[in-house]
Amino acid sequence: MEQALFRGMNFCTTSGLLTATGGVTTYDTTVTINYVLNGKIATKTAITAGTTPTTDYVTGESITLTASKGRVVVWGLISGGTVKVIAGPIVDWDGTNFRPAPDFPAIPDDFVPFAYQILKASSSAGTITFGSSNWNATGFTNSIVNVAVLPNRPQTS
């Protein structure tokens, strides 16, 4: 039996109930998130009107979206409870369906996902900049799925 397979795991044991809605650029987690990072138990207290990250944790680049496009953004915690986001690749969105369905980004070992967002920009949207554009910007919608670990693929409908 290989015991190493069960060491150093990353996951959440409670949902933070992430919300990101309305004419603001902030987010909330309505409850404390209990999580495990590399096998160590930690907590992140609930956040009210938190500053949404504006750059991808892995690439350091701004996260943007233009008309008729979509993507997945994964929210997570790193050591010390800092909230970070990582964006998946941009795909086409025809207003009804993705072509192809968006994928999750690669997740580094020091990042514990607690939610993901499906971002959609309609044909009437301008450029959406994550963390700077309001959640209710014209032509922009998002849906949030809270997770303990990421599923095999994002739920897009």
Q: What is the reported pLDDT for 153? A: 85
Q: Tell me, yes or no, whether 58 lies in a domain.
A: yes
Q: Tell me, yes or no, whether 25 lies in a domain.
A: yes
State the total domains in the chain. Answer: 1
Q: Tell me, yes or no, whether 49 lies in a domain.
A: yes
User: CA 57 to CA 72: how far, in whole Å?
Assistant: 14
Q: Tell me, yes or no, whether 151 lies in a domain.
A: no
Q: Tell me, yes or no, whether 9 lies in a domain.
A: yes
Rounded to 5 degrees, what are φ and ψ at 115? -165, 165
User: CA 14 to CA 7: how far, in whole Å?
Assistant: 20
Residues 6+ apart with CB under 8 A from 57: 76, 78, 84, 85, 86, 108, 111
Asked if 151 and 113 count as a contact pair (C-beta separation under 8 A), the reply is no
Q: What is the reported pLDDT for 1? A: 46
The pTM of this model reads: 0.93
Which segments of the chain have a pLDDT < 70?
A: 1-6, 157
Which stretch of DSSP H or E encloses residue 72?
strand 69-77
Q: Tell me, yes or no, whether 104 lies in a domain.
A: yes
Domain hosting residue 142, numbered range: 3-146
Q: Tell me, yes or no, whether 132 lies in a domain.
A: yes
Q: Tell me, yes or no, whether 154 lies in a domain.
A: no
